[in-house]
Amino acid sequence: MKITSGQIVIGILALIIGLSISIQIGALDGDVIEGGLVPIQKAQSLAQELQKIRNEKEILVEEVTSLEAKIKEIEEAESKDDILLQSLISELDKYKMISGMKEVKGPGIIITIDDPPAEDVNYSDVSVIMYNYELLLSLLNKLNDAGAEAISINGQRIVAITEISLAGSNVNINSVPTAPPFEIKAIGNPETLDSTLNIRFGIIDKMRNRYSLQVKIQKSDEVVIPRYNEIVKFRYAVPVE
């Protein structure tokens, strides 16, 4: 088959078009803010699945609490006449609270941080707050500075060994993947917490003005902070007697 010059031209143009299409697709890969339509049915079925999983989790949390109550019951029964045991039990309670193994409540503050609204983002396919997670570390630090007694981020209790790491498209806290918006709860003096965070050129100022993040702060008379849900296994550290 003889190939005419016209066919060669068309072939080359077709190649260029094909290239452009795939470059364009590549450029937008990951930018899921525009483009794409998914029927609401899929979103609804995911919402149902999420609800089911949340219910399952609730049941498990209740089971843990009731098992702990049973353990405490046994411990108290054994200690009825024993002062030593009774003081042990109250020490146990105290350190359970200190180490974050108990759900707690108290006056405090609730901070919600979200990425800048979609229209303001110029082809950014990574969440601003996730990429700049050191802002979260700074915020936690300021809360501690202002006397926060317990803190949680997106339901994860912050304990001594809590880490915040960027893993793929999520931020892992206590090894649990989370994503924005980030809800940070802290128990402490609501006035002190609020004013420490809101000082001029402080962390909240920086988040709003330098990074255009949407930050909401709300003082509250009762903030509930969940417990830490893991068994800590020590493989290197040994207590010194």
Partner 1 sequence: MKFRSILFFLFCVIVGLLISIQSRIITGTFLYVSPKVIQDYDASIKSEKTEIEKLKTLISEKEEKIKEYEAISGKGDDIVASMQQELDRLKLMSGYKDVQGEGALIILDDGTRELYEYEDPNDIIVHDIDLLMILNDLKIAGVEAISINGQRVINNTEVNCSGHSVRINNQFFAQPFIIKAVGDPVIIESALSAPGTYGELLREYGLILDIYKSINIRIPKYSEAVDYKFLKTIEEGEV
Partner 2 sequence: MLVAIIGLVLGVIIGLFLPNFYPAEYSFYISIAVLAALDSIFGAVRSNMEGRFDMAIFISGFLGNAVLAGALAFIGDKMGVPLYYAAIFVFGGRLFQNFAVIRRLLIDKYFRKK
Residue 142 or 215: the one with the smaller Cβ distance to partner 1 is 142
**Which of the listed partners (partner 2, partner 1, none) does 10 bind, with a CB threshold of 5 to 8 Å by partner kind?**
none
Q: Which of residues 185-224 bind partner 1 (CB under 8 A)?
A: 187-189, 224
CB of 209 to partner 2, least distance (A): 30
In angstroms, rounded to a whole number, what is the distance separating the alpha carbons of residues 105 and 223?
Answer: 5
From 78, 120, 125, 191, residue interacting with partner 1 (rule: CB under 8 A): 78
Q: Report the distance separating Cα 84 and Cα 91, nearest Å.
A: 11
Identify which of residues 24 and 198 has a Cβ nearer to partner 2 in the complex: 24
Please give the size of the binding site for partner 2, defined by CB under 8 A.
14
| Residue 65 contact among partner 1, partner 2, none, beta carbon within 5 to 8 Å by kind | partner 1
User: Quick one: 6 or 39, whose CB is closer to partner 2?
Assistant: 39
Max Cα distance, the chain (Å)? 106
Q: Which is nearer to partner 1, 208 or 229 (CB)?
A: 229
Q: Binders of partner 1 among 92-131, rule CB under 8 A?
A: 92-108
Residue 49 is a binding residue for partner 2 (CB under 8 A): no
- Dihedral of alpha carbons 128, 134, 138, 141, sign: positive
d(CA 235, CA 237): 6
- Which pair of tokens denotes residue 123? 């082809």
In degrees, rounded to 5, the angle at the alpha carbon of residue 181 between the alpha carbons of residues 143 and 208 is: 60
Distance from C-alpha of 43 to C-alpha of 49, rounded to nearest angstrom: 10
Q: How far apart are CA 125 and CA 178, in angstroms?
A: 17
Q: Which stretch binds partner 1 (CB under 8 A): 1-9, 12-20, 55-63, 207-215?
A: 55-63
